[in-house]
Chains A and B, each alone.
Chain A
Amino acid sequence: MTLGFLIYKIIFVLIIFAITLLVATYSTYAERKIAAFLQDRIGPDRAGPFGILQPLADAVKMFMKEEMIPSVSNRMLFIIGPGVCMLTACMTGVVIPWGPAMNIGGKVYPLQITDLNIGVLYLFGVVSLGVYGIMIGGWASNNKFSLLGAIRASSQMISYEVAMGISIIALVMTTGTLSLGQIAADQPGMHWNVFIQPLGFLIFIICAFAETNRAPFDLPECETELVGGYHTEYSSMKLGFFLFAEYINMFISSAVISTFYFGGYNMPFIARFVHDPNWLAVLGFVFLFTKISFFIFVFMWVRWTLPRFRYDQLMNLGWKILIPLSILNLLITGGWMMRSEILHFFIK
């Protein structure tokens, strides 16, 4: 490991971190704008042209708010909660391939922080850790609404992780690798996994909605029943961290959906026009972000269209529909991969 390599990695990590934060910040603006447009309003337009500076104003507001820690709360856990949420949200971006490798001065610079050969597992591990932030925060608040929100969040995440995991297993079976870089590289042109695994994609995106606690699965923070859910007692930037972590999660889920099912940085026909690998890398980055923006839009679009699930409906959907469906998907995938052996067995 040379010094140059280390510097390149550090710079790249910082860039990805900055981009993640920037996208999450502007997701709040996009959320408000899209919500407004879907409801025939125009949304925030006072801070700067078209309200571009609105996230800045929101951030200043969040920092300036009074910091409240309930006297009956568990002080240390109360502070750790949003921190854990934010940390796990930021950690997931590590394994995502942001573009094909760049080639500068004879050296290859992959646009991926680290291409773990168990990237999918890592992603799952970190995403499952995310629930701890919510759980700790909700429990430490010492408030019934918060606790209920936290319990809902954890049970929801556990239920939907199963279906998500099984749908991913089917994907891993077809791609034959757990490395995200390899999964992205295996989908050149239009050979996107969504055409191979349509049912798996559907299950995955539904579970992604549930995992990010977005509508129609936003039961942990549903205002109508639980005041604010797990963040009822939070104020100031601690609340900001919880909300921010949700947007980062949304960004990362969009990136993961794009990488797993929509070819990541690949775009059809681009290899015919561009041959320079560096330009391909830059364009790949742009394509990936276009896909990510689209999926973030879908996240918001769904939120402002569909009503929230009832809790029993949520559990029904998770355990009685999505898990059997994902197992069916797994069986079909396995059957298709073994088709010659099966045919051979019957026909001889």
Chain B
Amino acid sequence: MQALTNRSKVVAKKEMTFIEKLYLPAIFSGMIITFKHFFRRKPTIKYPEQIRPFSGVYRGQHVLKRDENGAERCTACGLCAVACPAEAITMISAERKPGEENLYREEKYAATYEINMLRCIFCGDCEDACPKEAIFLTERKVDSLYTRNELIFGKDILVESRENPIDLSKRQTPQVKEFKHHKEFAHNVVFEKKK
């Protein structure tokens, strides 16, 4: 019969020698091992004071971007809601009235836009689906809150402020932008072509 693995060890159930029966050498060697660990550098990260570096593409709390003039980019097309596997996103669209051009970029906009942070799985599919580059996941972590209603984030939390726009240069690199222009390259299609 062919062996399933070449790493198997033959267990020899032999009588212990006198020295082994004393147990003391084994005990002392074990104690030396633990003593060595006593002086090792501890890998502990003291969390609130020390924070591990995040990946540039960490997927945290969402942001709804504004364009260079400060108008909201979202047009309430609903593609993000369709793409969302957790069905966390809901929105109500509205039509832009004359005089609101500086508020909304196109004729249609999201009157309400809500993401249920308890449902969201932070997959980033909304970001991929968005044709207007309006929604992104950021490095910010979602706070812990006390009630379920508090965790349904509306536009007041999601839309970035004009004063401090969220920096996306780490995740919106030129390569990513270039890739996004070719909508025919869905991720998995590219993957299949490579094969």
Contact = CB atoms under 8 A, between A and B. Distances in A.
Q: Are A and B co-members of a single complex?
A: yes
Interface of A: 34, 37-42, 45, 301-302, 304-306
A41 B42 contact: yes
A39 B33 CA distance: 11
A38 B34 contact: yes
B27 A39 contact: no
A258 B186 CA distance: 75
Residue with the highest number of chain A CB atoms closer than 10 Å, among B38, B43, B44: B38
A40 B43 contact: yes
A93 B172 CA distance: 71
Nearest to A305: B34
B16 to A, nearest CB: 14
A301 B34 contact: yes
A205 to B, nearest CB: 12
A40 B40 contact: yes
A302 B26 CA distance: 12
A41 B27 contact: no
Nearest to A34: B38
Contacts of B98: none
B37 A40 contact: yes
Nearest to B30: A305
Contacts of B34: 38, 301, 304-305
Contacts of A34: 38
A45 B37 CA distance: 19
Given A305-B31, A306-B27, 14 more contacts: A37-B38, A37-B42, A38-B34, A38-B37, A40-B37, A41-B42, A42-B42, A42-B44, A301-B34, A302-B31, A305-B30, A305-B33, A305-B34, A306-B30
Nearest to B32: A305
Interface of B: 27, 30-31, 33-35, 37-38, 40, 42-44, 46
Contacts of B44: 41-42
Contacts of B31: 301-302, 305
Contacts of B30: 305-306
Nearest to B43: A40
B27 to A, nearest CB: 6
5 contacts: A38-B35, A39-B37, A301-B34, A304-B34, A305-B30
B114 to A, nearest CB: 38
Contacts of B42: 37, 40-42
A38 B38 contact: yes
A177 B35 CA distance: 37
Contacts of B35: 38, 301
B27 A37 contact: no
Nearest to B36: A38
A302 B44 CA distance: 24
A54 to B, nearest CB: 16
B21 to A, nearest CB: 10
B45 to A, nearest CB: 10
A178 B102 CA distance: 97
Contacts of A39: 37
A38 B33 CA distance: 9
A45 to B, nearest CB: 8
Contacts of A38: 34-35, 37-38
Contacts of A306: 27, 30
A314 B43 CA distance: 37
Which 5 residue pairs are nearest across A and B when measured between Cβ atoms?
Answer: A305-B34, A38-B34, A42-B44, A37-B38, A42-B42
